[in-house]
Structure 1
């Protein structure tokens, strides 16, 4: 069943091609001054045949043979030379398909090499073969004379070359892209362009091909730029038919001169459409390629930032676990002492209700302290997707509650100086992470440099309408040659202590990108000073 359907389909294609080949030639001959089969006039049938052969394959050669035979025989050529000419044109199509496949050219004509390859094959192989072999056959059967041989070969070659240059790309783009074309817009542009040319020729009586080129080429280039090259091919076909109506600049000379001028005009527009189409198509592909690269790099950058954020959070969690262990050490010791006390009382038979109540109260107090510590850390690391109102002093105090025990172990004094209370709208946990990164960085610097009186000072002030959170230390500052690099990813001066180089980078990311705020660093006489600037329109002073 499928095989039968395939055969019916192939027969239909061959029949359609034969009819198109014959009708296109007859219409073209009727529109020219001389009704001759050998003429330099554009021969659309050759372009139609080549497009069908390249798109549907070698199997369409019978359609070319039948169409060419009807043309030749119908124009007074005897049956034997008509068969020879028809066979040569059929072989030409088979050669075209073979060469296209051999050189790996794409019938979609999407690449520069496909278009150039098609034009070169037509110009240097197909039409020289067709013109020479066909005219030799006609000469052999006395259809043409020896004196007419060179003129006939040139006319045959020239008309067929322009016909294939004009119709083959037009039909191939139509066959390959008709599903993606807006047919109404496609036809509308072609018809409007035809009306425009007809109006120019009839209204202004243009006699110069150069002037006509100047008035039509900009429109062709513009449409190719705005739409695509398929529109340009179609508009060229429309123009070729309008200009063959014996109007315009191609009726003022002798017949052969008019035909050559007409062909040269069409050839010029074809070359311009090809060139503009390739340039604009290449530009579009470059833009698409750049957009893909940008999207890929943005995606990679986001993935890298997420990885950095995860690494930074893991590093923070390591320090937080250390802080939890330190804060739990005292209540665990107290619970151990209470346990020893109650066991001792039990062994001495002195365990009474008062001692049980004392144990119950104190044990519960120590357990609550440990539970509150867990809640503090859990809230601190809770992800926040939505903005909410928060108080800056509460954010800072929550951070200090987390780190105070560990910092006191290293004899680091943290001062929180706030003259005024501020309520802001944003991401409190993100701000807390940023502040924690900065004070941890200060802690490491103080410990590394073994400062005698270690200090970290946090102040909150209003400056120029914005709220500035300043975090300073007395560790001596950051060397001037690296101070501009401290916010760079993976930059660290603590490699020997397993510094990740992500803390301050993620701090800048949080402040600038997530919170849309600013962060700066400079050195004072005592040490480094970090300033986080929150936009004033997101904060208000609480009296």
Structure 2
């Protein structure tokens, strides 16, 4: 009898382990799909980021080229000024590449990182895409804390929330569109909120948006962005990600325990 109970217990333990392993494997697959979905959006962002600098680089040397063609003298100061401007632009483009490379690198371990520095890196990636649609981005900082976790995964969450807000603002033709990011501390937590004026989340119950493969009136959406965002914050960073409708739009709240 005891032997039978032991065998039953061992079989139950084996099944539990098997199901846990299956669940982890599904999470890995979904996370990879989320990364691939983000890649398409990031390529769009980098094309926006580089288009303006490339145009500026072209315009820098146009006056010099015109003088050479017309046989006019080009001053050394003009050439040095053009080179200085070129250096500034190429540094900006190089920094953008670093931001994208960091974003897609695999986080191997949790590290301490500064929240504002990471947000500035995110803004460097997405700002031009927002400007192209006249979307105002406000960042309100009451505290500038450090976090402990997977910084690139955290960046992916913020970029996903901002891109979702951008898509809704564009698709709904919102007048004077804006996105606001707020950073502050509350008790023993660091809080980051992302809100917009796109009219709110028209899903009931609202937590449905965090279910895998759920999409709502969004073309070419994978339906895994918000699901993975919640997984990253709540499983990988031991925090909470919640969504509300507030004022004139959607309101996402990220709470992460202080280190």
Q: TM-score, normalised by structure 1?
A: 0.45
Alpha-carbon contact 2:144-2:184 (below 8 Å) kept: no
2:127 is the alignment partner of 1:392: no
Show the counterpart of 2:168.
445
Q: Secondary structure at the match of 1:458?
A: strand
- The correspondence for 2:87, drawn from 359, 364, 379, is 364
- The correspondence for 2:234, drawn from 512, 520, 524, is 512
Q: Deviations over 1:457-516 (max 9, x none)?
A: 111222233222111111111124141211111111145x11000110010010011101
Q: Secondary structure at the match of 2:255?
A: strand
Alpha-carbon contact 1:412-1:456 (below 8 Å) kept: yes
Show the counterpart of 1:417.
140
- The correspondence for 2:72, drawn from 350, 354, 364, is 350
Alpha-carbon contact 1:459-1:470 (below 8 Å) kept: yes
Q: 1:476 to 1:505 in 2, by over 3 A?
A: same
Show the counterpart of 1:315.
37
C-alpha separation in 2, matches of 1:352 and 1:360:
14
Q: Deviations over 1:386-417 (max 9, x none)?
A: 22222222222221221111101111111110
1:342 Cα offset (Å): 3.7
Higher helix share: 1
Q: Secondary structure at the match of 2:182?
A: strand
Alpha-carbon contact 1:308-1:506 (below 8 Å) kept: yes
2:246 is the alignment partner of 1:524: yes
Q: 1:330 to 1:293 in 2, by over 3 A?
A: same
Higher strand share: 2
Q: Deviations over 1:247-267 (max 9, x none)?
A: xxxxxxxxxxxxxxxxxxxxx
Q: Secondary structure at the match of 2:210?
A: coil
1:329 Cα offset (Å): 0.6
- The correspondence for 1:435, drawn from 151, 154, 158, is 158
What is the CA RMSD across the aligned residues, in angstroms? 2.0
Show the counterpart of 1:335.
57
Q: 1:421 to 1:363 in 2, by over 3 A?
A: closer
1:286 Cα offset (Å): 4.2
C-alpha separation in 2, matches of 1:380 and 1:326:
17
Q: Secondary structure at the match of 1:457?
A: strand
C-alpha separation in 2, matches of 1:337 and 1:395:
32
Stretches of structure 1 that go unaligned for 5 or more consecutive residues are: 1-223, 229-279, 539-543
Query: How many residues are paired up?
Result: 258
Which runs of structure 2 are paired with 1:6-155 in the superposition (5 Å)? none
Q: Deviations over 1:255-281 (max 9, x none)?
A: xxxxxxxxxxxxxxxxxxxxxxxxx1x
Q: Secondary structure at the match of 2:27?
A: helix
1:351 Cα offset (Å): 5.1
Q: Deviations over 1:42-84 (max 9, x none)?
A: xxxxxxxxxxxxxxxxxxxxxxxxxxxxxxxxxxxxxxxxxxx
Show the counterpart of 2:210.
487
Alpha-carbon contact 2:203-2:209 (below 8 Å) kept: no
C-alpha separation in 1, matches of 2:110 and 2:14:
33
Q: Deviations over 1:320-368 (max 9, x none)?
A: 1111111111111122223444433332233535243233223222222
Stretches of structure 2 that go unaligned for 5 or more consecutive residues are: none
2:201 is the alignment partner of 1:468: no
C-alpha separation in 1, matches of 2:190 and 2:58:
47
Show the counterpart of 2:19.
297
Show the counterpart of 1:402.
125
1:297 Cα offset (Å): 2.6
Alpha-carbon contact 1:395-1:428 (below 8 Å) kept: yes
Which runs of structure 2 are paired with 1:176-215 in the superposition (5 Å)? none
Q: Secondary structure at the match of 2:216?
A: coil
Q: Deviations over 1:19-61 (max 9, x none)?
A: xxxxxxxxxxxxxxxxxxxxxxxxxxxxxxxxxxxxxxxxxxx
Alpha-carbon contact 2:200-2:250 (below 8 Å) kept: yes
Alpha-carbon contact 1:342-1:351 (below 8 Å) kept: no
Q: Deviations over 1:404-436 (max 9, x none)?
A: 111011111111101222223333222221111
Q: 1:353 to 1:525 in 2, by over 3 A?
A: closer
Structure with more contact order per residue of length (Cα contacts < 8 Å, sep ≥ 6): 2
